[in-house]
Structure 1
């Protein structure tokens, strides 16, 4: 993997007990004595001691990029009114700190122990580092503690076990621990989550868990579980086990785990998650879990026929089972009439398997079925939904979906969502979709539909429609006025077709619009009709749009993604962008790179302004973009030096905590259990990759990149740039940079691509570059470098052309070699290999 996750500790301590009551007069007197007099209890400001503790905490914060602690001022007496603070209404003691997602950097101050009545502490999703402070365990009133998604290292303090009031503990991390004995003290524990913590070195962990006799919820997702246990240990065979919800997913467990998981039956287990393991087959024990309602087996290697799969579930389980998910499990055979055996099913997900043949129409007759997902198989399906109760249907990526028979063509008022993507519906538009009168979600992309959609069909969309996806077909023609065709907050995707003409009027409460890769022309003044606050995603790239960007763009404060690349826009930028900003060429925007980008959009993660006419220096304000993952200012006319503050770009220094964040979800169409629960937008960008221009999509989630090539930059490479230890791509080629290559450049060990060609660098190649073992592309040609290329390293494996134009260089692999020089036998893949899959492999090595 290319991401260094650092040691991220997640520790949530949540007690289901009521808040500590200071009801007795003795307690009130004692509390008042502590702070001077009993009258202090009734005052409407917090206690001085607690205010000072909070101010000391603030002083330990080295960076507060959003100014969230700006209300914490010495001159304000009442700290109960400060941001993130909650006080008891009667006693005015500080009881809760909510400082999550503030991106704070610094240390957790010991002063927090002076908040004697604190029962809720949430510092999650910040940049705290070091070890988890031991003093946390002395805060015995804590009922909720969340330190997740920070950069802590080391281990969880064993003293945490002294919090004996604990009823619920949630923990999620990428750390490793060797002992769980401290958990035994938490005798009241009912809810335990330790997702992501490696338990690979913990022996007999099952016995520790079973000692928690009140435990009803256990989640050990992605914990590297070992099978080291006492011979007769079992969750479900233990008389002391009270587990009702069990999550053991993503642990690479194989089928031998069944011997301790299912020796007999359990009448308590309600929900079982064994997803993303290496289980093969389905044991008959599963059919004896008589209380089981939800079974999740997706992402395994079950590899049996569907008929055998159901037979092994026969027993009381089939009577109680309501939700069955076995997607991506290599299940074969046909979806036969046997499905009738599971008449209690409300959700059936068999997507991403190897089912084939004709799907039984008995599926549509299951009396309780509400959600069906059989996508990504090889089924032939007749969509005879009829009057069934099913509200969510995903048939996408199958061999063929057949038009319903006339007997089933009557209007249906239950189906709310239907996804028919890549079902070979074309070339004609499937007019039978009109029978679904209450649709909110309609996806018919990639179906080879090539006719012009008749005008009347644009007018007969269901009135509740929120999501329309006609993308990746060959539909042509002009698009009529859409302003009154949709429900509120609609999502419209007409991308990758042959639509032409001006962009029509769109709904005023538009949430997302993707018209990319069509033939639309004219301006985009239609945007000024959209109501402020709703638009989240706008992709108009790869069209023939012209003119200047309208200033009304700055109204869209919720805009997360704006892609206007590959059009013919001109002029200066208005003060408005989203979280991802792409205006790459052949647009010809001019003027300076606006400083407001760094001042107003500090959550921006992608800034791509390549191939325009920007001039002037790189604004120092760009260093405020602590979430920035991709910076591409290449092919402009920028001058000046590279800012020395580049090491303020935290993601490039520490890595991104949420690599999936480049897949955006912004409107839930269904609940979280359906595969199309949310509309997502996957970022894509055209970037230079190892000397070639490529369009990157899914790979962007791995990429951390700086491309300043083809400008007029001068001066030295700042040493601070070498602090970007998570950077994968650095391209400074075709500038006028000079001086020596920084000696510490070898500390950028994750660099996959380094291009310094076409500058005026001098001196020797730093010996530290021999540590850059991840490099698959290097170009330092056409500089003024001299001396011997460090020998016996991967540097000899690159083509001689990557070193040419440096008259003073010698040694392999160039011709001017010393006697006895040998080229190491390192076989490197061709640098001309194309395709995003090869890029993805490079980034994940």
Structure 2
């Protein structure tokens, strides 16, 4: 008996040993038998790579030395045949055109060239790769028309041509792609569909995205959509659907096409007549509906029957209806499922009433930029799932008498430009989980309770209390904010020194307050997130500390209108991302540090109203070639105007006034090409942070104090529209160069209070866009050029205290200026001014600057 058991065990072990060994041999043999790529296809890949730009070296493995291309980056081969079956070069940073050698990869079934810089036309030979099941050419620079040959790829189940620069008609041959499940044609360029019948043949289609493709001539598009039984995601944003003839259309959300779960028809200028396309809207599959950017005046009653709807986008419409009525049409099963409602900018009126409590599943509510009024119902805060409340820019009032005890779930709250003050709302302190708070411009004129600053240790990401009249001191904030956070306390009445601030800030705006003391606290911001720092218009003193090496991401630095002094520190040259540097109206002195030439990203430089000295650096023109604005006014610069400034092609504002410059005006100023042609800044300065419920971004408001029409004026937000040269109040000599009249797009020119001589250039009349011209208090002589009568936009002219002679050229414009315009010219023969003509100094053609 025991021997039998032994024999059985022996044979079982032997069988296990043989099986294991056999498996290992098969596996080893399988590895040995794995096919290498074919020489013909390897050569084709090398030819494909040859003309491509590969700045990041992502195709460095594609070399003739490696004979097995199956090991190359992005290449997939068949283990059985060695044929190349897949090319995945998504986001490789490649550029150039697609080689026709692609045709030799006849077994290719997967081709992804998306998110690169390929250009030229899409080669027609791509239609010969008939084994393709996946083709993605999206997010490139392809141009031309879409090849009809793509219709030959009948095995395709995914086609993506999105985000290119194509044009023309979508080929009707696409109707041959009967296996297609995913079709992305969004942002393809200027493409259109004229005959839409091909779409109805794509019976397997599940996702259709055609944003930006014109369907204005596709009258039967609704019928085509309704014939796609598996379609669950449809996006037709910006497809000119308002131009489709409604009588030829029927409903596409009916029982035969109830599979649609995601529907977006944004930005089509649709009116409420479009609702016939959706009626009867009874599907229980619809999860998301976006009708934003249209001309809809509400929603129909049957919207309350969408028992699965979680997202409703209705922003930027022209509703002009009462918001409670809008909500009433959502009552029903929809009010039980809706999680996100976005209706910003839709002109809703009425109040945010108690009816909001019926939306028990609501998580996010966006009602900003409407015309809502009245008090915000306390019922809003009782919604059990509510996390995001954005109701800014309304006439809503937030009662200070709220008695809220359990709203800790709210994380993102924006009440900007609502009526919250004058007292600081104590109920805010019940929001224990708050990460983003915006109470800007809410009428608060109170001090902030100290306990407010300790509410959210290390979790607050965004705090905006700007444009109020909040007083008091700001305590130590080191432990209150998360990484990459934002603090905006600007335009208030905070006072006292600025103490510790978080080292993790990305945006800090404390401008237009009453802060005092030094600014050594900026040396604590060491984590490299800071992109925006504005401390302007305070009473800060001391020197700018030499610790700016940490700020390699800083784009905007504004220290203007304070009492800072000393030299600019050498470390300012480490701000290699800096685009805006404003230190105007302080007491800085000394020469500009040579390291500043390293700030090659600068586009706006304002160092005016300080005590800087030395020559105007030549490296401003040699190294900072992206500058649009150079303001060095009211300093102690001396020497001549460097010719290198003429090398700034984008320069629109040059202000060297009120210095000690001498020599002549460079004739090469006529090389400032931005002043020769129409146009403004091609680049805005944006600061942003992505935090919480949204990306917080805003264009930086350029501002500068500039001499304008005899007075100093602060330009706000429109500095980018100004094209101005101001060299006044220096010691410049010589004649006004004739070449200056080539600056035909110049708006303001001021050479006053120098010792210039000679005549006004005869062709000055060609500067037809000049609004203000000041040549006063020089030694100019001769006659006023007759061409000035053509300067019809000129509304400020000062030629006083020179040596002009003769008569005013015949022109209503020139003769209507007040006598002070020509005062102090002894040899000047005056002409009688028309009576009742108001001085042109009081007129303006530039609007509200």
CA distance in 1, matches of 2:455, 2:772: 54
Question: Which of 371, 378, 399 is the equivalent residue of 1:361?
Answer: 378
- Structure 1 position 667 matched with structure 2 position 689: yes
Query: Paired residue for 1:59?
Result: none
- Structure 1 position 503 matched with structure 2 position 503: no
Query: Paired residue for 2:398?
Result: 380
Query: Paired residue for 2:206?
Result: none
Q: Secondary structure at the match of 1:610?
A: coil
CA distance in 2, matches of 1:499, 1:138: 64
Given that residues 686 and 695 in structure 1 are in contact (C-alpha distance below 8 angstroms), is that contact kept between their aligned partners in structure 2? yes
Given that residues 701 and 717 in structure 2 are in contact (C-alpha distance below 8 angstroms), is that contact kept between their aligned partners in structure 1? yes
Given that residues 327 and 353 in structure 1 are in contact (C-alpha distance below 8 angstroms), is that contact kept between their aligned partners in structure 2? yes
Q: 1:732: how far off?
A: 4.8
Query: Paired residue for 1:336?
Result: 353
Q: Secondary structure at the match of 1:590?
A: strand
Query: Paired residue for 1:513?
Result: 533
Given that residues 603 and 626 in structure 2 are in contact (C-alpha distance below 8 angstroms), is that contact kept between their aligned partners in structure 1? no
Q: 1:359: how far off?
A: 1.5
Query: Paired residue for 2:578?
Result: 559
CA distance in 2, matches of 1:779, 1:328: 47
CA distance in 2, matches of 1:634, 1:139: 62
CA distance in 1, matches of 2:803, 2:692: 57
Given that residues 670 and 739 in structure 2 are in contact (C-alpha distance below 8 angstroms), is that contact kept between their aligned partners in structure 1? no
Given that residues 606 and 629 in structure 2 are in contact (C-alpha distance below 8 angstroms), is that contact kept between their aligned partners in structure 1? no
Change (3 A) 1:715 1:237: farther
The structure showing larger relative contact order (alpha-carbon pairs under 8 Å, at least 6 residues apart) is 1
Given that residues 213 and 238 in structure 2 are in contact (C-alpha distance below 8 angstroms), is that contact kept between their aligned partners in structure 1? no
Question: Which of 253, 270, 281 is the equivalent residue of 1:265?
Answer: 281
- Structure 1 position 687 matched with structure 2 position 706: yes
Could you tell which deviates more after superposition, 527-536 or 135-144? 135-144
Change (3 A) 1:24 1:287: farther
Change (3 A) 1:403 1:833: same
- Structure 1 position 601 matched with structure 2 position 624: yes
Q: 1:255: how far off?
A: 3.4
CA distance in 2, matches of 1:94, 1:731: 60
Q: Secondary structure at the match of 1:219?
A: coil
- Structure 1 position 655 matched with structure 2 position 673: no
Given that residues 540 and 565 in structure 1 are in contact (C-alpha distance below 8 angstroms), is that contact kept between their aligned partners in structure 2? yes
Question: Which of 41, 44, 67 is the equivalent residue of 1:28?
Answer: 41
CA distance in 2, matches of 1:758, 1:344: 74
Residues 99-125 of structure 1: per-residue CA shift (max 9 Å, x gap):
99x9xxxxxxxx96878669679679x
CA distance in 2, matches of 1:277, 1:758: 58
Question: Which of 220, 226, 236 is the equivalent residue of 1:218?
Answer: 236
Query: Paired residue for 1:204?
Result: 216
Note the 1:516-665 alignment, pairs <5 A. Answer: 516-525=536-545, 527-528=546-547, 531-574=550-593, 575-576=595-596, 577=599, 579-638=602-661, 639-642=663-666, 644=668, 647=671, 649=673, 653=677, 655-656=679-680, 661-662=684-685, 664-665=686-687
Query: Paired residue for 2:23?
Result: none
Note the 1:385-396 alignment, pairs <5 A. Answer: 386-396=406-416
Query: Paired residue for 1:231?
Result: 247
Question: Which of 152, 168, 175 is the equivalent residue of 2:161?
Answer: 168
Query: Paired residue for 1:418?
Result: 437
Query: Paired residue for 1:129?
Result: none
Q: 1:833: how far off?
A: 6.8
Query: Paired residue for 2:742?
Result: 722
Q: 1:758: how far off?
A: 5.8
Q: 1:220: how far off?
A: 2.0
CA distance in 2, matches of 1:161, 1:790: 66
Query: Paired residue for 1:246?
Result: 264
Could you tell which deviates more after superposition, 374-383 or 277-286? 277-286
Given that residues 424 and 446 in structure 2 are in contact (C-alpha distance below 8 angstroms), is that contact kept between their aligned partners in structure 1? no
Q: Secondary structure at the match of 1:338?
A: helix
CA distance in 2, matches of 1:804, 1:201: 64
Change (3 A) 1:121 1:516: closer
CA distance in 2, matches of 1:123, 1:625: 29
Q: 1:486: how far off?
A: 1.5
CA distance in 2, matches of 1:290, 1:366: 19
Residues 363-414 of structure 1: per-residue CA shift (max 9 Å, x gap):
22323322211223331245747443221111232222566678x956x542
Q: Secondary structure at the match of 1:400?
A: coil
Query: Paired residue for 1:153?
Result: none
Given that residues 370 and 392 in structure 1 are in contact (C-alpha distance below 8 angstroms), is that contact kept between their aligned partners in structure 2? yes
Change (3 A) 1:528 1:326: same
Given that residues 786 and 807 in structure 1 are in contact (C-alpha distance below 8 angstroms), is that contact kept between their aligned partners in structure 2? no
Residues 629-667 of structure 1: per-residue CA shift (max 9 Å, x gap):
4433333344433453755645973635756x14x2143
CA distance in 1, matches of 2:785, 2:382: 72
- Using the size of structure 2 for normalisation, the TM-score is 0.69
Given that residues 262 and 286 in structure 1 are in contact (C-alpha distance below 8 angstroms), is that contact kept between their aligned partners in structure 2? no
Change (3 A) 1:595 1:140: farther
Q: 1:418: how far off?
A: 1.1
Note the 1:403-414 alignment, pairs <5 A. Answer: 412-414=431-433
Q: Which has the larger radius of gyration?
A: 2
Q: Secondary structure at the match of 1:693?
A: strand
- Using the size of structure 1 for normalisation, the TM-score is 0.69
Q: Secondary structure at the match of 2:162?
A: strand
Residues 751-779 of structure 1: per-residue CA shift (max 9 Å, x gap):
55555666648677475974x66665566
- Gapped runs of 5+ residues in structure 1? 1-22, 33-40, 55-67, 72-76, 79-85, 103-110, 125-132, 149-155, 174-178
Note the 1:90-169 alignment, pairs <5 A. Answer: 136=121, 143-144=137-138, 146=140, 167-169=160-162
Change (3 A) 1:474 1:184: same
